[in-house]
């Protein structure tokens, strides 16, 4: 082999071993945009781990609109893929059911299923929701509202659970404002509706940074000063969080670490070492900036 300078043909090797060494990263198409650069770091974490083991990552987007017939991209085929990551909680139940029925070894990323057994790696959403709410309460706020997406989305439900626990622990009444998505315009609409019913609110914990940015914009349009009249905390610590006016206090998710752990879990599944599905929750940190009315702290680093 050395004398002839033989180089193995990857395609022939794949045929012989029935492995493709291709893994898909599946995500809703609408999430691949500049408004919420949340999943980029997770994909980096996944890819860096996989390439050490000879696998390559294929990004597949799904146009999951309720008004359209469900269409699965042709690349989602267990003859072409060894495994699959399904990212985010925004995919509908019909899409999730279809994806999980394909028979491809799967790990959920930044999501989990509340009923059923599927490997999942996500943020410790409940603890993060508690920490954000507790921070606002300890700084004197008694009317703290939660702005989130649909409660059927597992990460949102878990963050809301943490919010509820913190409010009830301090004898306070929860105030909920749920939106159909996690985008900036939804956050702005939420605050208008929220203050229309609860003008006493002085602080908002938003379940995503884009929601929090929308809340901040609406507050400024309504003449509410942030943080003097309205303290705001987001969730995710996307790159835009430190560029808002004022900079946004938020819960930092170790996004690259989540991707790395998810990749390691899928590799275990592919080697036949993982017999029982598990849910892994990665810890968070709170990043103090000016939107909550506190002195900024040094943000944590991905590790």
Cα–Cα distance, 273 to 123 (Å, whole number): 24
**Residue 193 CB coordination number (10 Å):** 13
The token pair at 16 is 């012989």
Cα–Cα distance, 32 to 37 (Å, whole number): 8
Share of the chain above pLDDT 90, in %: 70
* pLDDT mean across residues, the chain: 89
Q: Between the CA of residue 215 and those of 212, 250, 293, what are the distances in Å? A: 5, 13, 16
pLDDT on residue 11:
46
Q: Which residue has the higher pLDDT, 139 or 16?
A: 139
The token pair at 186 is 């939804």
**Helices 255-270 and 40-51 meet at what angle, rounded to 10?**
40
Share of the chain above pLDDT 70, in %: 87
Q: Is the pLDDT of residue 129 over 60?
A: yes
pLDDT on residue 93:
85
Place of tokens 């699959």: 84
Residue 13 binned pLDDT confidence (cut-offs 50, 70, 90): very low
Q: Which residue has the higher pLDDT, 39 or 187?
A: 187
Cα–Cα distance, 210 to 29 (Å, whole number): 17
pLDDT digits (tens, 9 = 90+) for 140-187: 999 999 999 999 999 999 999 999 999 999 999 999 999 999 999 999
By mean pLDDT, which of 75-84, 110-119, 222-231 is the weakest? 110-119
Q: Which residue has the higher pLDDT, 42 or 303?
A: 42
Residues contacting residue 263 through CB under 8 Å, at least 6 positions apart: 45, 46, 47, 48, 49, 50, 85
Secondary structure in 3-state letters for the chain = CCCCCCCCCHHHHHHHHCCCCEEEEEEEHHHCCCCCCCCHHHHHHHHHHHHCCCCEEEEEEECCCCCCCCCCCCCCCCCCCCEEEEECCCCCHHHHHHHHCCCCCEEEECCCCCCCCCEEEEECHHHHHHHHHHHHHHCCCCCEEEEECCCCCHHHHHHHHHHHHHHHHCCCCCEEEECCCCCHHHHHHHHHHHHHHCCCCCEEEECCHHHHHHHHHHHHHCCCCCCCCCEEEEEECCHHHHHCCCCCEEEEECHHHHHHHHHHHHHHHHCCCCCCCCEEEECEEEECCCCCCCCCCCCCCCC
CB 59 within 8 Å of CB 27: yes
Q: Is the pLDDT of residue 230 over 60?
A: yes
Q: Between the CA of residue 182 and those of 77, 88, 101, what are the distances in Å? A: 30, 11, 27
CB 232 within 8 Å of CB 206: yes
Residue 58 binned pLDDT confidence (cut-offs 50, 70, 90): very high
Q: Is the pLDDT of residue 130 over 90?
A: yes
Q: Is 72 exposed, middle or buried (0-12, 13-18, 19+ CB in 10 A)?
A: middle
Burial code of 282-297, b = ≥16 C-beta within 10 A, e = fewer? bebbbbbbbbbbeeee
Q: Calculate mean pLDDT across residues 30-39.
A: 68
CB 199 within 8 Å of CB 188: no
């Amino acid at each position: 082999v050395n004398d002839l300078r033989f180089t193995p043909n990857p395609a022939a090797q794949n045929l012989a071993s029935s492995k493709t060494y291709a893994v898909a990263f599946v995500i809703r198409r609408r999430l691949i945009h500049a408004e919420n650069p949340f999943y980029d770091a997770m994909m980096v974490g996944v890819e860096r781990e996989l390439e050490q083991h000879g696998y390559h990552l294929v990004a597949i987007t799904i146009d999951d609109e309720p008004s359209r017939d469900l269409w699965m991209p042709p690349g989602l085929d267990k003859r072409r893929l060894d495994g699959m990551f399904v990212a985010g909680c925004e995919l509908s139940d019909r899409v999730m059911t279809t994806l999980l029925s394909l028979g491809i070894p799967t790990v959920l990323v930044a999501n989990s299923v509340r009923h059923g057994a599927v490997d999942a790696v996500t943020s410790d959403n409940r603890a993060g929701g508690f920490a954000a709410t507790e921070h606002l309460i300890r700084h004197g706020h008694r009317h703290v509202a939660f702005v989130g997406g649909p409660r059927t989305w597992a990460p949102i439900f878990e963050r809301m659970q943490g919010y509820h626990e913190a409010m009830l622990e301090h004898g306070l009444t929860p105030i909920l404002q749920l939106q159909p998505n996690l985008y900036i315009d939804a956050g702005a609409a939420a605050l208008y509706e929220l203050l229309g019913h609860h003008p006493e609110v002085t602080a908002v914990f938003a379940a995503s940074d884009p929601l929090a940015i929308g809340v901040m914009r609406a507050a400024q349009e309504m003449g509410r000063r942030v943080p003097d009249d309205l303290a705001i905390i987001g969730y995710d610590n996307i790159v835009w969080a430190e560029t808002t006016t004022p900079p946004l206090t938020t819960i930092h998710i170790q996004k690259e670490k989540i991707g790395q752990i998810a990749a390691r879990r899928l590799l275990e599944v592919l080697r036949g070492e993982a017999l029982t599905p598990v849910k892994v929750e990665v810890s968070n940190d709170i990043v103090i900036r000016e939107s909550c009315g506190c002195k900024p702290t040094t943000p944590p680093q991905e590790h």
